[in-house]
Each structure stands twice: as structure tokens, then as C-alpha cells.
Amino acid sequence: MSDANLKNYTKAIRALQEAEAAYRASLDAIDTAKTEGNSDKLPRLRMQAQEAERHLSERLTDLETCHRGHFLARRIKLIPEMIRLARLAREYDVFARLAGDTSVRPSKTVIDEEYVKSFSTDGLEQGIPLEEPRCDMLVDERGAWR
């Protein structure tokens, strides 16, 4: 993995965390104004919270873009190897048929069996988690400023 990918991802996480804190602070300000009976401040505070929520949503999108971009780059890097494996599978299928195997794609059976028994995600992360980024505040608190 390139250091630039990890740097961009780390920067995007920090930006998301800052945006979450700002959104939380704006929601807290609304709650405080309601509790203290300062209803005249509510329209301005709600507009600020709405803007903070929009900013948070944008930071999550940025983080998702970094995440997808990293794994897309890693996927593209594997294309030559995948092409080599596809040609090897085709060659295996030809030899299997010449040896009397009548199945449609003999190589698929071998590949499927090996894929199931030996694949592990250990070592794939390289600093960027495999799971997609998420923001619980945008799930639990979306529109809470209303």
C-alpha cells in the first residue's frame, strides 16, 4: 500500500472525527437553548446544526472515496495476475478434457475448493480497514436539529 493512500485515509478519518464533534456540539447547543428557554436562539442554532450535519455527510463521503480508492488501486494491481490465472485455468481445462474430464469447467472446481478452504483476510488491511467507513451519528442523529 502506498504511504499516500494511508496518509489520505488518516486525514479523512481526522476530518470526519472533527465534523462529528462539531455536529455533536451544535446539537448540544440546541438542547441547551431549549433547556434554558432561549427559543429566540433556536432558528440560528438549527441552521448551524443543519450545516454541520451536511458537512459531516460530506466528510463521510470523502472517507468512503478514500476507502474505495485504496481497494480499487489494489484490485487493479492484481489484474495482470488474474489474467495469468485465467489463462492457466483455460490450459488446465483443455488438459482435463484431453484426459477425459467431461465437466464444463474443471478448473472452476479446483479454484472453488481452494478458495473456500484457504482464503483468509489476514494481512489484507495494511492500515486501512476492510469494512466500509460509517458514521453512527448520521444514522442515529440525522435531522436531530429539527
Domain boundaries, the chain: 3-140
Give 77-106 pLDDT, tens digit per residue: 999 999 999 999 999 999 999 999 999 999
* Whether pLDDT at 2 is above 70: no
Name the band, by pLDDT with cuts 50, 70 and 90, for residue 55. Answer: very high
* Whether pLDDT at 1 is above 60: no
> Greatest CA span in the chain, whole angstroms?
85
Name the band, by pLDDT with cuts 50, 70 and 90, for residue 18. Answer: very high
Region 16-23: mean pLDDT is: 97
Half-sphere exposure of residue 39, counting CA atoms within 13 Å on the CB side? 1
Other CB atoms within 10 A of residue 52 CB? 21
pLDDT for 117 equals: 83
Please check whether residue 110 is in contact with residue 41, taking contact to mean a CB–CB distance below 8 angstroms: no
Q: Which residue has the cell 489463462?
A: 87
CA distances from 123 to 70, 76, 129 (A): 15, 18, 10
Phi-psi region of 136 (alpha: psi -120 to 50; beta: other; left: phi over 0): alpha
Measured CA to CA, the distance from residue 4 to residue 91 in angstroms comes to 39
Enter the pTM of the model: 0.76
pLDDT for 66 equals: 93
